[in-house]
Structure 1
Amino acid sequence: MNKFEDKELRWGVLGVGDVCEKKSAPAMQKVKGSKLVAVMRRNGDKAADYAKRHGVPKWYDDADKLINDPEVNAIYIATPPNAHLELAQKAAAAGKPVYVEKPMARTYKECLQMIEACENAQVPLFVAYYRRTLPNFLKVKSLVDEGAIGVPRYVGITINQPRHPDVKQDPKDNWRIHPDVAGGGYFYDLGSHQLDFLDFLFGPIEEVNGQALNQAGDYPAEDIVLGNFKFKNGVLGTGSWCFTTGESSKKDEIKIIGSAGEISFPCFWGTNVSLRRDGEVEQVFEFEMPEHIQYYLIKSIVDELLGKQDICPSRGKSAARTNWVMEEMISNFKNQKHT
């Protein structure tokens, strides 16, 4: 990748929707060496409103104008996934580092095209899998790496969620349930975080299979997914994601079983990490999250581009692997939709 020669990052954000209100873009104003200088939405009034409320000097209703603004030297793509490929290609062609929301794209093929565009332009490509930098998830990694549960044997993921409140909206306004926009359903939105973290923990998944269905008929995407997978290091995994359970069945848990104990932790609804050995919970680790949940990941991007080498842990190639895994898990559902 080419050397980033500027002494500060001046971010331009494409698509300042909900994720930019607190999770991500405000952190760009707080990380040392970083500024948010321009934002864009197709609705100019909403772009102007965001800029005014967040103290951003410029706003646009045209993506090309923001990308080609000479003051902007790094691009954050915070649109729905259907726009990620085109915008990443344009940002790369402009010679600007790319930070893109998750899931990285709708398909594995689109991920590979994004990687190719950035490699050809010699610009780095980062993806917003920020759990790789959060203290509770780093604690899980340290426990595993230090042998706290012996040799890892297998991992289990469970998400049970009542029919998502978003389905009360007009479905046209909820892009997460439309595969042509999101790639899949809530599995792509939430399961991607879990699978990406396990890639960070154990390395790439090399074998995967699954079954996916739409059981409730509330929207076009799959609403239940069951999957099995194998990591290159020999650890096995299984997962179940159901978005139409009753409230009493609501659950969010990842459990890692080893030869001498187990670690359990939530991915979304809590931050505690439990270590169990000798049949009992030995210790529960408690954590507080940063005000802006992407702060640490954005800081790693800024620090890397301003001179530290390869310290951002979430990149295009690792994120593309997560897309591949999800695509394989729901391939039966996608194939049925096209027959």
Structure 2
Amino acid sequence: MLDWIDSYEERKWQTATEGTVRYALLGLGWWTIDVALPAIESSDLGEVTTLVSSSTEKAERLAEENDVENGISYDEYHDGAASDQFDAVYVGTPNAYHLEYVETAAELDKAVICEKPMEATVERAKRLVEACEAADIPLMIAYRMHTDPAVQRAKELIDKGFLGEPVSVYGNNSQPLLEMIPDPDQWRLDPNLSGYGTSVMDLGVYSINTARYLLDRDPVAVHARMSSHHEAFEDVSDERSAATLVLEDDVKMVTTNSQHAHEDTNLKLTGTEGQIEFQPAFHGEVTLQLSRGNVTVTVDHDTFNAEREMMEEFDYFADRVLTGAPMHADGRHGLTDMRVIEAIHHSAESGDIVEL
């Protein structure tokens, strides 16, 4: 077992050791200001030069508070203001606004790192990808789990055969959204802004995408059920969601998610020879439990909170922008997740199995 564990190498992906990518951050909510901004500032290959918000006044105020050079409005961004001051844009707005800001980035010839899910609908996500491809600009979807060291370690183990043949996956992601953000009118509960719903779009995507990344297999069919009970969730159908997915090579996956439940995140992958479990998986420090034969080992990592995960993610993105190397989790990769999420909602509505 120790031979499997000791083979891990951090930042195996890194090819650039110098250079700087200058970022404009769009959507100045708590995640952008409290997580993304300090993550970039503590990274090796990035710096924040521009903040973009609904008004120039707000953007300038936050820029001054955070020692950032430029603060501009969305209208000014669309007009090309300060475009010589940044090389890439980070899009952290509500889902339904991603397309317009990415289209402008494409017009300005700027690289893009866009939060997941990448848009509100498959159709809009497809337009987003096509805009970047037409302009020949780099586009990466911000799946922060890909650069978490526990996930990186598990990926290496799986690729070397630790699981044997993958058989099944179980993922859960739940949180008490209304305790975290006590506002029933928040955008995550507005389908016009969030997209197909709230729990699968915002939480279920973690299990689905991390499983896809680890196993290098995509879903081919889904069967889902969902329901909403609390009055704040009356406009979205998936306060509680459960789905069974069939991945390529007949790997079975179950994913459960809720925005109105006790916080819990878990991802378990089982194969013919071994098992890998992340607990917690997606919030806070990620702990890895490895089982093979009659031996079980728990692997703790340095504290990798969301900011540290984002720092790794931004350095990975900058590494690819600076070197021109191919990016994983590009637009086409993110578009697959959007199609899976849409299929889950269609299955829940019809009661039928939906093939992808």
TM range (shorter): 0.7 to 0.9
In the alignment, structure 1 residue 228 sits paired with structure 2 residue 241 = no
Q: Whole-Å Cα distance in 1 between the matches of residues 271 and 178 of structure 2? A: 33
From 54, 74, 83, the equivalent of 1:62 is 74
Residue aligning to 1:272: 287
Cα deviation for residue 145 of structure 1 reads 1.7
Kindly provide the CA deviation profile for residues 99-120 of structure 1, in whole angstroms up to 9, marking residues without a partner as x.
1111111111111111110111
> Is this contact kept in 2: 1:177–1:186, CA < 8 A?
no
Cα deviation for residue 323 of structure 1 reads 1.2
* Cα pair distance change 1:45/1:186, threshold 3 Å: farther
In the alignment, structure 1 residue 328 sits paired with structure 2 residue 343 = yes
Residue aligning to 1:18: 30
> Is this contact kept in 1: 2:27–2:92, CA < 8 A?
yes
Residue aligning to 1:299: 315
> Is this contact kept in 2: 1:225–1:330, CA < 8 A?
no
From 9, 13, 28, the equivalent of 2:40 is 28
In the alignment, structure 1 residue 259 sits paired with structure 2 residue 238 = no
Q: Whole-Å Cα distance in 1 between the matches of residues 28 and 34 of structure 2? A: 11
TM-score by length of 2: 0.83
Cα deviation for residue 242 of structure 1 reads 3.2
In the alignment, structure 1 residue 315 sits paired with structure 2 residue 327 = no
Q: Whole-Å Cα distance in 2 between the matches of residues 163 and 135 of structure 1? A: 27
Residue aligning to 1:76: 90
Cα deviation for residue 306 of structure 1 reads 1.1
> Is this contact kept in 2: 1:212–1:329, CA < 8 A?
no
Q: Whole-Å Cα distance in 1 between the matches of residues 178 and 297 of structure 2? A: 33
For residue 317 of structure 1, what is the amino acid of its counterpart? Answer: R
* Cα pair distance change 1:67/1:140, threshold 3 Å: farther
Partner of 1:275, secondary structure, is strand
From 183, 205, 211, the equivalent of 1:198 is 211
In the alignment, structure 1 residue 40 sits paired with structure 2 residue 52 = yes
Residue aligning to 1:4: none
For residue 271 of structure 2, what is the amino acid of its counterpart? Answer: G
Q: Whole-Å Cα distance in 2 between the matches of residues 111 and 78 of structure 1? A: 15
Which piece of structure 1 moves more, 74-83 or 156-165?
Answer: 156-165
> Is this contact kept in 1: 2:45–2:315, CA < 8 A?
no
* Cα pair distance change 1:303/1:160, threshold 3 Å: closer
For residue 157 of structure 1, what is the amino acid of its counterpart? Answer: G
Partner of 1:37, secondary structure, is strand
Residue aligning to 1:3: none
* Cα pair distance change 1:35/1:63, threshold 3 Å: farther
> Aligned pairs, how many?
323
* Cα pair distance change 1:30/1:244, threshold 3 Å: closer
Report 1:176-215 matches (<5 A): 176-183=188-195, 184-203=197-216, 204-215=218-229
Which piece of structure 1 moves more, 326-335 or 227-236?
Answer: 326-335
**Over aligned residues, Cα RMSD in angstroms?**
2.3
Q: Whole-Å Cα distance in 1 between the matches of residues 308 and 78 of structure 2? A: 24
Partner of 1:168, secondary structure, is coil
> Is this contact kept in 2: 1:14–1:40, CA < 8 A?
yes
Cα deviation for residue 19 of structure 1 reads 1.3
Cα deviation for residue 62 of structure 1 reads 2.8
Q: Whole-Å Cα distance in 2 between the matches of residues 101 and 113 of structure 1? A: 16
Kindly provide the CA deviation profile for residues 211-245 of structure 1, in whole angstroms up to 9, marking residues without a partner as x.
22213333222211111112223322111223444
* Cα pair distance change 1:158/1:9, threshold 3 Å: closer
From 223, 238, 257, the equivalent of 1:241 is 257
For residue 323 of structure 1, what is the amino acid of its counterpart? Answer: M
Q: Whole-Å Cα distance in 2 between the matches of residues 317 and 63 of structure 1? A: 28
Residue aligning to 2:6: none
Partner of 1:256, secondary structure, is strand
Partner of 1:95, secondary structure, is coil
For residue 211 of structure 1, what is the amino acid of its counterpart? Answer: R
Q: Whole-Å Cα distance in 1 between the matches of residues 258 and 89 of structure 2? A: 34
Q: Whole-Å Cα distance in 2 between the matches of residues 30 and 305 of structure 1? A: 18
From 116, 121, 124, the equivalent of 1:110 is 124
Q: Whole-Å Cα distance in 1 between the matches of residues 221 and 104 of structure 2? A: 33
In the alignment, structure 1 residue 90 sits paired with structure 2 residue 104 = yes
> Is this contact kept in 2: 1:24–1:292, CA < 8 A?
no
> Is this contact kept in 1: 2:147–2:309, CA < 8 A?
no
Q: Whole-Å Cα distance in 2 between the matches of residues 244 and 65 of structure 1? A: 36
Structure 1 unaligned runs (5+)? 1-6
Which piece of structure 1 moves more, 229-238 or 59-68?
Answer: 59-68
TM-score by length of 1: 0.87
Q: Whole-Å Cα distance in 2 between the matches of residues 306 and 42 of structure 1? A: 30
> Is this contact kept in 1: 2:224–2:348, CA < 8 A?
no
Structure 2 unaligned runs (5+)? 1-18, 352-356
Q: Whole-Å Cα distance in 1 between the matches of residues 249 and 266 of structure 2? A: 22
Cα deviation for residue 148 of structure 1 reads 2.0
Q: Whole-Å Cα distance in 2 between the matches of residues 62 and 163 of structure 1? A: 28
